[in-house]
Chains A and B, each alone.
Chain A
């Protein structure tokens, strides 16, 4: 239990002090709460002695106790809430900041989905329950401790028994956590399998149905559901006995307090009024401790959640100590560049030079290293060995920001933000005027269709009325790159255009974007390949051919095969 509390404490980061303060105030509140025993004792004394000493002191003590409690509770809860929400905010910002320096190549759909889930769902769990957990667990524990101290003041023996109770209770709770920590992961695995099975069932349903495999598939899903139910029940089965044990400990000590009070009274070492006080105290002494203990399962889950959030810190970060530099020209060069992904070598000793304002087309089989070559240029990854130069300088000399100023990328998978079209276009340059946005849009052949949308440039992408065809999205992404106006363009040419009726516009947009720039392109279209200043044929991570179209067509080899195949594919007829 304390392990997790420490974890929360560590997680609190710069809010640690506030958290400490909250706990101290919470303890003060517990002391105020314990004061009602004083009032009770005062009243008991009067009743037992038969002498009326007036109600004023009783009322005064009670009022102080209640008001003190309200104030302390209010402040500590507020602080704990603030800690809870702001420590999570801090973590979110920390992760967001870190993402900027994690090599781009680390991201894929899977890891992005995972990070998004952590930053939204997982951390929301922390912000919602961490503070509540802290209030309940720490507050409950302190409350009981304060009550025990109050008992000690009246009779040290009773205080000792009370504290023994706390210790035994904590011990049992710890034992329970150890016992359940074995079944917990098994249950978690079963839940993960359940998610996978449900997703596979739904995503694969069209296949299953069209091949008439429902029976087989139903059985598999049913088995996983069964498994998840079984594992959950066995987790519950391991928790429940401990629940009984915890209750027995608390109740047992309550009885012990009653019995001891009676025995001490009988032995004459405790006055009747104290004995009665103990009898009454036995009911409330452990109340809060118990509710704290009941949170222990939540606390354990919280611990696992925090671990998950912290795991993002394990991802590698790039070395980013560059300088604010402007390149002297926009030429790009690779010198003996090697790059591996895991154990697989993707690029192996690749060298080339692209003079300023020329075009290099990269062709070759899929998996040959074309995309990696582009990503290395933009420093989405760092090379393993060799050097990449921009304007004669190693790209790692540049600050990431000043490097990226020089490069525009047009990806095959177009990502548009769920924002207005205008904002999407000026994403790279937020402070340009509308006229400039429209100009870029016109050049990228998007102005016309944008104006036909219900809200024109203010139409929000993805929302009703803002559903764009693939080709339209592509052109918006080109307008975005156009506005950035970087001297180097990295272009992953779209394979088959998603809406063929607009292919001519798309082509015009690309032509406008690439005019007078240094261009690295993964080319699929024969026209673009042919007009490139140099062509690189990449296969198995190595440059197998290079030259112009005319030169390469004269040679036997991959390039000639590639051209042949493309022609064949283009001329393909189904009927």
Chain B
């Protein structure tokens, strides 16, 4: 991956929305028109005050009243239109961004996706993207207009009388100084708040997630107390923090808008000395009152700015993730032989090598078993063959081609990978099985279901084959899901089958049925199997003993019992606990 310079989150965000910049410009323009409308109202009232003070007739005020009304109507309509426009642009941009994120995920190594909790992706794609709405839709037009109004007014006041200009800015300066005081401790306190919040979240997750244990072990003791304490602590922290923080925030919130505090005395002084006319004085009062509201509103967006970095960062991480690169053009495989040549593998940026210089040849239509202690890397070998990740070094060849040079869908056609967790979609049972081969007829689907030992329980479901599985297959038991996914894999009829502890999560009542299904699935295929019960694979053509990321030995059961002490030990342990009646 190219080393990229870290861009400002705002630039990144703005670049993601590039197709809708027009909408944002339009919305800013409308917001500015709205500002002009507001300003018109101020001018009008200032003019009317001048008329009244100089003894002008009420008739002269009529046009100004109309202008004021017009200005306000323009302001109301323009700001609504501005919001509408910016929302349109924003939500379209967010929609595109979401599509882009999903498309990106389909290009990163499958292993990365399996290793990341899906909740995390969901948070990024749904919540974080949504979290940019205030920034794009509101901050851009509203902060612009809310900052422009005070600037225009300030300039206007300074034009009337620079001393009054200074006077009307005085409270804002005081307010900002106070706010900056609170900002000083904010970062530290915020970190504390995050820590307390996390502690509470952990206590909650633990208490609720472990409620079964809580109930079974200590109905009223420790853990509930800990939960309650963490909750109280969180509330108390915020209370104390706010108490301290509010001192300054209160000054900012109340002093800033109290412009009269300085404007009135200074104005009176200047007026009494004769250096400020009554009408200018009045005008300044009007203007200075309209100054702080928008300014405070603009300031309220500052909090918004703080979270932009987090949101944009998370989204950027996905968009910039490394991709699994595969060619489009199909290749001609000369056979189904799989060769691992000096492969090593390291997850992500961790330095611990999971596999280290593994070489192995798997001949077509043979059974190869990968065995070894947990954490030895046997499952990783299977996943690398299935193309879930790319090797860190070395190469895996299939039919003479490096699998990195085989298009992903072609490789996938060759391999059926059956693991413990097999996802079912929230569609009918029939559709879920048919995913194995879309053009399979109903009869074929049912035939394969029968072979996988699921026909009878499917028929017992409320709607039979047309029963909807629920999201993630939630309406079915683990064993049922397993059997349906085996049926799906059978329908695919791929020449290479990888069984990665496929029966480990199956309930024992159904184990025999599933085993039969698997035998049917694997007949005449190249089979790579990771099994926890050594007796299952005792007759494999080749047993590969994996230990600490290396191949310790390979051969038949008989050979290994003689030559490999590790295997002999594992076999003994297995025999010792073997559950025979």
Chain A contacts of B63 at CB under 8 A? Answer: none
Chain A contacts of B532 at CB under 8 A? Answer: 496-500
Tell me whether B537 and A202 are in contact (CB under 8 A). Answer: no
Question: Is B362 an interface residue when CB atoms closer than 8 A count as contact?
Answer: no
Question: What per-residue 1/0 map shows which CB atoms of A123-147 lie under 8 Å from chain B?
Answer: 0100100000000000000000000
Tell me whether B504 and A110 are in contact (CB under 8 A). Answer: no
Of the candidates B211, B224, B529, which one forms a contact with A97 in the assembled complex, judged by CB atoms under 8 Å apart? B224
How many chain A residues have a CB neighbour from B under 8 Å? Answer: 154
Question: Is A387 an interface residue when CB atoms closer than 8 A count as contact?
Answer: no
| A55-103 contacts to B (CB < 8 Å) | 55, 58-59, 62-63, 65-66, 69-70, 73-74, 77-78, 81-82, 85-86, 88-89, 92-93, 96-97, 99-100
Question: How far does the alpha carbon of A55 sit from the alpha carbon of B95 in the complex, in Å?
Answer: 60
Tell me whether A575 and B539 are in contact (CB under 8 A). Answer: yes
Of the candidates B121, B247, B531, B579, which one forms a contact with A198 in the assembled complex, judged by CB atoms under 8 Å apart? B121
Of the candidates A112, A284, A507, A566, which one forms a contact with B508 in the assembled complex, judged by CB atoms under 8 Å apart? A566
Question: Is B580 an interface residue when CB atoms closer than 8 A count as contact?
Answer: yes
Chain B contacts of A484 at CB under 8 A? Answer: 217
- Tell me, rounded to whole Å, the shortest Cβ–Cβ distance linking B30 to chain A: 12
| B226-267 contacts to A (CB < 8 Å) | 227-228, 231-232, 234-235, 238-239, 242-243, 246-247, 249-251, 253-255, 258, 260-261, 264-265, 267
| A225-267 contacts to B (CB < 8 Å) | 225-226, 228-229, 232-233, 236-237, 240-241, 243-244, 247-248, 251-252, 254-255, 258-259, 262-263, 265-266
Of the candidates A78, A237, A263, A500, which one forms a contact with B533 in the assembled complex, judged by CB atoms under 8 Å apart? A500
Q: A401-B219, A480-B217, A495-B508 are in contact. Are A81 and B278 (CB under 8 A)?
A: no
Question: What per-residue 1/0 map shows which CB atoms of B324-340 lie under 8 Å from chain A?
Answer: 00000000000000000
Question: Is A474 an interface residue when CB atoms closer than 8 A count as contact?
Answer: no
Question: What per-residue 1/0 map shows which CB atoms of B104-137 lie under 8 Å from chain A?
Answer: 0110001001100010011001100000000000
Tell me whether B113 and A81 are in contact (CB under 8 A). Answer: no
Q: A428-B217, A430-B218 are in contact. Are A222 and B223 (CB under 8 A)?
A: no
Question: How far does the alpha carbon of A532 sit from the alpha carbon of B149 in the complex, in Å?
Answer: 85
Chain A contacts of B250 at CB under 8 A? Answer: 70, 73-74, 77
Tell me whether B105 and A205 are in contact (CB under 8 A). Answer: yes
Question: Is B207 an interface residue when CB atoms closer than 8 A count as contact?
Answer: yes
Q: A40-B260, A262-B48, A570-B579 are in contact. Are A203 and B297 (CB under 8 A)?
A: no
Tell me whether A496 and B503 are in contact (CB under 8 A). Answer: yes
Tell me whether B258 and A36 are in contact (CB under 8 A). Answer: yes
Number of A-B contacts (CB under 8 A): 437
Question: How far does the alpha carbon of A430 sit from the alpha carbon of B94 in the complex, in Å?
Answer: 50
Of the candidates B76, B423, B529, which one forms a contact with A248 in the assembled complex, judged by CB atoms under 8 Å apart? B76
* Secondary structure dominating the interface of A: helix
Chain B contacts of A226 at CB under 8 A? Answer: 95
- Tell me, rounded to whole Å, the shortest Cβ–Cβ distance linking A467 to chain B: 9
Of the candidates A202, A213, A417, which one forms a contact with B206 in the assembled complex, judged by CB atoms under 8 Å apart? A417
Question: Is B212 an interface residue when CB atoms closer than 8 A count as contact?
Answer: yes
Question: How far does the alpha carbon of A470 sit from the alpha carbon of B125 in the complex, in Å?
Answer: 32
Chain B contacts of A572 at CB under 8 A? Answer: 511-512, 515, 533, 535-536
Question: Is A2 an interface residue when CB atoms closer than 8 A count as contact?
Answer: no
Question: How far does the alpha carbon of A100 sit from the alpha carbon of B213 in the complex, in Å?
Answer: 11
Chain B contacts of A575 at CB under 8 A? Answer: 367, 369, 527, 537, 539-541
- Tell me, rounded to whole Å, the shortest Cβ–Cβ distance linking A209 to chain B: 6
Of the candidates B425, B518, B580, which one forms a contact with A570 in the assembled complex, judged by CB atoms under 8 Å apart? B580
- Tell me, rounded to whole Å, the shortest Cβ–Cβ distance linking A136 to chain B: 10
Question: Is A5 an interface residue when CB atoms closer than 8 A count as contact?
Answer: no
Closest to A59 in B: B265
Question: Is A349 an interface residue when CB atoms closer than 8 A count as contact?
Answer: no
Chain A contacts of B377 at CB under 8 A? Answer: none
- Tell me, rounded to whole Å, the shortest Cβ–Cβ distance linking A165 to chain B: 13
Known pairs A59-B265, A62-B265, A100-B220; list 17 more (Cβ under 8 Å): A46-B268, A66-B255, A78-B243, A78-B246, A119-B208, A120-B201, A198-B126, A204-B425, A243-B80, A251-B75, A252-B72, A265-B52, A284-B293, A366-B509, A526-B581, A570-B533, A575-B541
Shortest Cβ-Cβ A-B pairs, 8 listed = A251-B72, A244-B80, A247-B76, A428-B217, A575-B367, A89-B235, A229-B95, A85-B235
Sampled A-B contacts (27; CB under 8 Å): A40-B264, A74-B247, A78-B246, A93-B232, A104-B211, A120-B204, A127-B238, A198-B121, A199-B471, A211-B488, A233-B91, A241-B80, A247-B75, A259-B65, A276-B282, A283-B286, A367-B477, A415-B212, A495-B508, A498-B374, A498-B504, A498-B532, A500-B533, A503-B573, A569-B511, A574-B369, A574-B536
